[in-house]
Amino acid sequence: MIYNEAIPAIAIGLPLLAAFLTPLINIASKKARNAFVLAILIIEELLVILLAWHVFTNDIVIYTMGAKNPTGAIPTQAAVPIRIVLEIDGMAAFMGLISATVSLAAGIYSIAFIKESNAKARYYTLLLLMLAGMIGMEFTGDLFNLFVFLEILSITSCGLIAYRQHADAVEGAFKYMVISNIAALFVLFAVALLYAQYDLLNIAAIAHVMQYTQLDKIALVLFVAAFAMKCGAVPMHFWAPDSYSTAPAAITAMLVAASQASLYALFRVSFTLYGSLMSYQTIGIAIIIFGLLSMFIGVTMALPQKDIKRLMAYHAISQTGYMLLGVGVGLYLLGSQDFNTYGIKAMEGGIFHIINHAMYKGLLFLTAGAIYYRLGTRNLNEMGGLGHTMKFTSIFFMIGALAIAGIPPFNGFASKLLIYEACYKVSPILSIVAMLVSILTLASFIKVFHSAFMGPKLHDVKEVPKSMLLGMAVLTFVIIFFGVFPGWVVNHIVHPAAMALADKMAYIAAVTGGA
Amino acid sequence: MIWNIPFITVALLIAIGLYAVMFKRNLIKIAIGITIIESGVNLFLITLGYREGGIAPIYTNLPPGVKAPEGMVLPVPQALTLTSIVIGVAVLALTLSFIMKFYEHNKSLDSHSRRLKG
Amino acid sequence: MNDGRMSIIVRTIATMLLPFILVFSFYVIMHGHLTPGGGFQGGAIAASAIVMMIAAYGHERMKKKVSEEGLSMAESIGAAIFALVAFAGVFMATSFMYNFLVGTPVFGKIPPFGGNSGILDSGGVLPILNIAVGMKVIGGLAAVVMIMAMAGDEE
């Protein structure tokens, strides 16, 4: 198939259109609706892979909405970009792959997992809108557009968290709503501060003329605070256990990808928008400290949990710490001579960990959902002996647990090794803490595995339906693939993404045209 | 000095809103706090586009004697504000419906009415 | 309150005002590309008319006249039209959201630059998008209000 320049816009527009066609198709037939949603998710995945392949082999792709010549960002009569520009570099394409894959798995999983009811059409509408929000956030090159997609993402995810409408779910959704709303308003305020000075909304164009005045610093603080709130780093992590544990399992997997979209926005703002202007070391150390705190507090809070999804949610916080640590070390070393050897490696580790985390944490949440589907409980004390009957689920859980603990040959090992090696250069303490957290993670998951799957047969349950197994299998396949071929993945997918973050001039030049 | 009044108002609105969100226990008051922050940010955006004596940036039935586009206020911040208002409506509706559900389950609007979970 | 209805004076005046509010709402939607207003504002006006009817007659009676499914349907169709028009930009012209109707007989007139008296037959795809947004907002806001009004019933 020939590369089509309109793919970025179609990748955002297709789930939007499909979201609103879903309730209309639902009237005709429930089966047709399921098939339609699946077809859209598969097409979306293919589109993103095609686009990512193009970006990784060629160059940054830009697309100007509504322009006569969509590949040129700046209209002929103007000196700056005035239309909404989509800009996809290695990092954005990489994040797009994560979102599309997780959504595909969640979509397949939901067919059996969500009980058939009138609200199921709305469930799929919101799921597709959530995908559109994530892809939009990652592909856009425009700050205000980023805010709009951020809001689409938070509104739809809140709606989905509260899908089951019991008291805990409503509480989780309300917390998430307040947090993401305040975060989004911070972002809007920061965007307004930048617009007031430069009359621009395009990320690349602002980065090109950035003066780093006092107001810019305030905007930076607002951006970092807002996106750190949304991605669940430790001082602002309290919403995560509540909303992760109460949402339907498929949505929890999507929420992991959604908080990573915020993480992407954090990296995009700190690397591309501010980049060389700010003091790398201060921001780098701040991100490293965020990371260490998240890792340690996340895992220690996870150990005593009895609710399986709450436990996993605390692990999600802890794993976010690894990503922050990796990229923080990269940022700390950026510009120094060590960057080319250790800094880039740390960033590769952090970025590789993003995709690994989305895959294995998504898988773990899906297995937890499978247990909930059969037993109707999330309490570990009421489980036991499930390995006798739910064979596939226990295998999938085992793979996810070994991957999160960083055991070879699964993908978690590959990215954690990169992080350990690179952090050692900055301070051995960082590597020691990272390894300690990894061991605690393993301990915690052994506990879960033991109490849920081992032991005498306590419950007479059957294996979960095929569509749920298929959804889990999609993620398992990716985990094993990444675990067996880490070298290929790092060279062809992760390295371009890390370089795209480090090299902000290329991002700027794609819009402003040289200079 | 007089030109700074909108900006002072913006700062005050955001501070009041944040105060309400952080220290009030009643969920409705938290929702009101969010709306106040949003008004502050919207006011900030609108103020950015203001030009002294400017008219609305619309060419239809332009009053005679106005030079266009120099005599108009900036349209872009207004478009941004409008978008943010529309989003705000959706957010407010969703927040309020969560509060209604919360009240249904707990028969209380106090955020401390449920036990804290570790 | 007696079955949620208000007094006969309120009900009569609400009935009399309803067509005017709806006509004004459609005016705002149709002139969205020329005057202040547009799909959202016009839709909000129409939705406020529905709120007024709910306040005057009680939601029990409104539920019989306007079904929530119908409103959701209007919302979905409006949004789908919007997205389809955006996609048509890719397939009929050069890019997503491209204004491909300029110069064609449908809303295709290009008004002179500067002040003018308002030419309704202009704007390309903008009037269509405004109508789509209007449908979406009428459906969405009215459905939200109806559901919130009905929420108290279940207890």
pLDDT for C50-78, tens place per residue? 889 888 888 778 778 878 788 888 888 99
H-only helix segments in A247-342: 249-267, 280-302, 308-333
Partners of C89 on chain A (C-beta within 8 Å) are 66
B101 and chain A: CB distance < 8 Å anywhere?
A: yes
Q: Among A98-102, A113-117, A124-128, whose mean pLDDT is lowest?
A: A113-117
Cβ contact (<8 Å) for B45 and A242? no
pLDDT given for residue A152 in this prediction: 93
Residue A501 lies in a domain: no
Mean pLDDT over each residue of chain C, to the nearest integer = 83
H-only helix segments in chain B: 5-23, 27-48, 75-106
CA of C85 to nearest chain A CA: how many angstroms apart? 10
**Integer angstrom CA distances of residue A266 from A223, A225, A249, A334, A453:** 7, 9, 26, 17, 38
Cβ contact (<8 Å) for C117 and B100? no
pLDDT for C13-49, tens place per residue? 999 999 999 999 999 998 888 888 888 899 999 999 9
| Domain end position, chosen among A268, A288, A310 | A268
pLDDT for A203-233, tens place per residue? 888 888 888 888 888 998 899 889 888 887 7
pLDDT given for residue A137 in this prediction: 92
Residue A439 CB neighbours (<10 A)? 12
Total structural domains within chain A = 2
Q: Would you tell me the crossing angle of helices A249-267 and A90-113 to the nearest 10 degrees? A: 170
Partners of C118 on chain B (C-beta within 8 Å) are 60-61
Chain B: residue nearest A143 by CA? Answer: B80
CA of B61 to nearest chain C CA: how many angstroms apart? 5
CATH number at residue B74: 1.10.287.3510
Reported confidence tier of residue A457, pLDDT bands at 50, 70, 90: confident
Residue B24: which domain range? 2-55+70-112
A151 and chain B: CB distance < 8 Å anywhere?
A: yes
pLDDT for A167-199, tens place per residue? 888 888 888 999 899 999 999 999 999 998 888
Which ipTM value was assigned to this complex?
0.92
Reported confidence tier of residue A388, pLDDT bands at 50, 70, 90: confident
Cβ contact (<8 Å) for C97 and A65? yes
pLDDT given for residue C118 in this prediction: 73
Statement to judge: residues A254 and A360 lie in one domain: no
CA of B86 to nearest chain C CA: how many angstroms apart? 8
**Integer angstrom CA distances of residue A349 from A430, A502, C72:** 14, 14, 46
Name the pTM for this structure: 0.91
Compute the distance between CA of residue A154 and CA of residue A256 in angstroms, rounded to an integer.
13
pLDDT for A282-323, tens place per residue? 778 888 888 888 888 888 888 888 888 889 999 988 988 888
Residue B63 lies in a domain: no
pLDDT at C94 exceeding the cut of 80: no
Cβ contact (<8 Å) for C98 and A16? no
Statement to judge: residues A285 and A216 lie in one domain: no
pLDDT at C115 exceeding the cut of 70: no
pLDDT given for residue B17 in this prediction: 93
Chain B: residue nearest A151 by CA? Answer: B87
**Integer angstrom CA distances of residue A296 from A302, A441, C4, C42:** 10, 10, 56, 53
Residue A295 lies in a domain: yes
Residue A510 lies in a domain: no
Best mutation target among A164, A177, A237 (most B Cβ atoms within 10 Å) is A177
Q: How far is CA A495 from the centre of its chain?
A: 18
Out of A78-87, A140-149, A286-295, A421-430, give the one with best mean pLDDT.
A140-149
C86 and chain A: CB distance < 8 Å anywhere?
A: yes
Average pLDDT over residues A248-271: 89
Statement to judge: residues A422 and A395 lie in one domain: yes
pLDDT at A278 exceeding the cut of 70: no
Residue A212 lies in a domain: yes
Statement to judge: residues A300 and A403 lie in one domain: yes
Residue A220: which domain range? 1-268
Total structural domains within chain B = 1
Statement to judge: residues A224 and A366 lie in one domain: no
Statement to judge: residues A350 and A479 lie in one domain: yes
Residue B118 lies in a domain: no
Reported confidence tier of residue B62, pLDDT bands at 50, 70, 90: confident
pLDDT given for residue C12 in this prediction: 92
Compute the distance between CA of residue A472 and CA of residue A363 in angstroms, rounded to an integer.
6
Q: Who among B58, B66, B86 is closest to C35 (CB)?
A: B58
pLDDT at A1 exceeding the cut of 80: no
Statement to judge: residues A93 and A16 lie in one domain: yes
Statement to judge: residues A337 and A222 lie in one domain: no
Partners of A242 on chain B (C-beta within 8 Å) are 117
Residue B62 lies in a domain: no
Out of A377-391, B16-30, C62-76, give the one with best mean pLDDT.
B16-30
Neighbors of chain C with 3 or more C-beta pairs under 8 Å:
A, B
pLDDT at A151 exceeding the cut of 70: yes
Mean pLDDT over each residue of chain A, to the nearest integer = 86
Q: Who among C72, C79, C96 is closest to A66 (CB)?
A: C96
Neighbors of chain A with 3 or more C-beta pairs under 8 Å:
B, C
Residue whose pair of structure tokens reads 């999609």 in the numeric block: A474
Statement to judge: residues A403 and A347 lie in one domain: yes
Cβ contact (<8 Å) for A67 and C99? no
Average pLDDT over residues A330-339: 76
Average pLDDT over residues B7-30: 91
| Domain end position, chosen among A218, A246, A268 | A268
Neighbors of chain B with 3 or more C-beta pairs under 8 Å:
A, C
Statement to judge: residues A211 and A312 lie in one domain: no
Q: Identity (one letter) of the amino acid at C21?
A: I
Q: Is the model more confident about A77 or about A246?
A: A246
SS3 A87: strand
pLDDT for A21-71, tens place per residue? 988 888 888 888 999 999 999 999 999 998 998 888 877 888 888 777 777
| Domain end position, chosen among A235, A268, A301 | A268
pLDDT given for residue B56 in this prediction: 79
pLDDT at C155 exceeding the cut of 50: no
pLDDT given for residue B84 in this prediction: 92
